[in-house]
Structure 1
Amino acid sequence: MSFIDKLRSGELADARTILKADPGLAQFREENGVSAVLIARYLGHADFAREIADAHPGIDLWEAAALGDQTRTAELLDNGLEDVNAVNADGFTPLGLACYFGHLEEARLLLERGANPNIISANPMAYLPIHSALAGGHKEIIALLIQKGAEVDEPSGSDWTPLHYVAESGDIETAQLLIKAGARTGYTRDDGKTALEVAEENGFTDLARLLATSAG
């Protein structure tokens, strides 16, 4: 099996051995352009993703964002080598990746450098960075995005608004943040359900009460 096959199958000891024998594999990209660093990160192998990056010092902005590598991010942006709002082969902006993987300070840096918090991913997920942060359950990043002007009502590709995500998780604190920022509770997703109905179905009584009293 190849390096990437070992990585995908979770056989990291073997993948590590192969990489050590041929460090150039750290620069591997699939035909669609997705790198080995991002594949490892998507699969939940954060430490190994870092090892791959260490074997390939020239990681790009999206890889740096996914790793939370602020030093590399600043270097790339300082030298004008990357567009902070461009999407990668997967359709995600650097900010979207930083938000999904929970890198608060990386997200803050990208926003300070001009990242737009309202760019929708160029893929069927149609995620805003706030959707990515919600999917990962990263409350501090959600609060940061709201502070920086993130849209709080935009549905994702699955037609879930941010409030629908919290209605699935029961996160009342984040619901309060969203409502305070102007999120409408009455949006009906394509299955006909509002966030209130989703919260009720999931047994989140306190959250349902909040949504009911904040109807709009």
Structure 2
Amino acid sequence: MEERATAFRQRKLSSLVYDDDEVEELWAAVDSGNFGQVRKLSRGELELDRVYGDRAFNFLWQAGFKNHLDIVRELIRAGADVNWRQPSTGDTLLMFAVKMQKEELVCTLLEECDPPSDVNLPNSCFEIPLHAAVDAGNVDLMQILLQSRAKINFKNVDGDTPLHYAVKHDNKEIASILLDSGCRSDIANDKGQTCLHLAAMGNNMDLVQLLVKAGCDANARDKAKKFPQDYATDQAIVDYLDMQPAMD
């Protein structure tokens, strides 16, 4: 199905036109939610992925921004690239939808579009939508993305996984879900810090204990040669980590 959609876009690209009047007419139809007019104009020879307007959106993004889900589906059927990336951020519409916490749009892009949005396509910061869902603390969106096979251990440009994000936000609930879903607790970021370093840094005993029970090494040094307990100012955390045996 994805190959068919790609071939359709390639056929359209060979005969693109840039009729400003039709572009403005299609933009107005998308903006107002005029499905019939969108269907008529999008089946012509306009470039559907053309950037338009002050926000540097294309037609598909504008439809998503306005929550016109029927138009989102129609534009993708007509050949709009569901994985088109916003020039300045590299975000796909799926990433934008997650950041804006538009759950219906997320479900539409993943479950109702042909082809569906790529759940693991990173932006310019090498974040995938799962990072954004965890960053927002949105459990429902995180679960939807995990069910769509989001890469749970994906690293961003700084080497942080979604679990690093959860720990930075002191979010034990999300950290627990990620660990139960198969997330590795021992991955170090570009500073050599595991999530246990971050939990100790935040003096969060609940997260420290959760990560130790998940197998995170209390004796792992980061690139500054520091153990997790070296960052803690809570003596109870220091004592707890000092008692942990060395891991093989």
> What residue is the counterpart of 1:205 in the other structure?
235
State the match for 2:212 in structure 1.
Answer: 179
Alignment partner of 2:229 out of 196, 213, 216: 196
Tell me if the contact between 2:153 and 2:184 (Cα under 8 Å) persists in the aligned partners.
yes
Give the match for residue 120 of structure 2: 85
The Cα of 1:54 is off from its aligned counterpart by: 4.0
Structure 1 runs of 4+ off > 3 angstroms? 26-29, 52-59
* Structure 2 residue matching 1:26: 3-state secondary structure: coil
Tell me by how many angstroms 1:91 deviates: 1.0
Pick from 114, 120, 126 the counterpart of residue 149 of structure 2: 114
Equivalent residue in structure 2 for 1:24, among 49, 53, 59:
53
Q: 1:13-47 CA distances to partner (integer Å, 9 max, x unpaired)?
A: xxxxxxxxxx9323459xxxxxxxxxxxxxxxxxx
Aligned residue in 2 for 1:146 = 179
Counterpart CA distance in 2 for 1:120 and 1:134 is 15
Return the index of the structure with the highest Cα Rg: 2
The percentage of aligned residue pairs carrying the same residue is 25
Equivalence map 1:130-169=2 (5 Å): 130-169=163-202
Query: How many residues get paired?
Result: 169
Equivalent position SS for 1:210: helix
- The letter of the residue matching 2:54 is L
Structure 1 pair 56–169 and aligned structure 2 pair: CA distance change class (3 A): farther
Partner SS, residue 143 of structure 1: helix
> Matched residues in 1 for 2:93 and 2:237: separation?
41
TM-score by length of 1: 0.70
**TM value normalised by structure 2:** 0.62
CA contact (8 A) 1:76 1:82 kept: yes
Question: Aligned-residue CA RMSD in angstroms?
Answer: 2.5
Q: What runs of 5+ residues in structure 2 fail to find an aligned partner?
A: 1-51, 59-63, 73-91
User: How many angstroms does 1:68 deviate by?
Assistant: 2.4
Is the 8 Å Cα contact of residues 170 and 199 (structure 2) preserved in structure 1? no
Equivalents in 2 of 1:75, 1:109: separation in Å? 11
- 8 Å CA contact retained: 1:27, 1:56: no
Change (3 A) 1:156 1:84: same
2:40 maps to none
1:191 shift after superposition: 0.8
| Alpha-carbon distance in 1 for matches of 2:123, 2:98 | 11
Whole-angstrom distance in 2 between the partners of 1:91 and 1:116: 12
Larger deviation: 147-156 or 206-215?
206-215
For residues 189 and 166 of structure 2, what CA distance do their matches in structure 1 show?
Answer: 12
1:126 is aligned, of 148, 159, 184, to: 159
The residue that corresponds to 2:87 in the other structure is: none
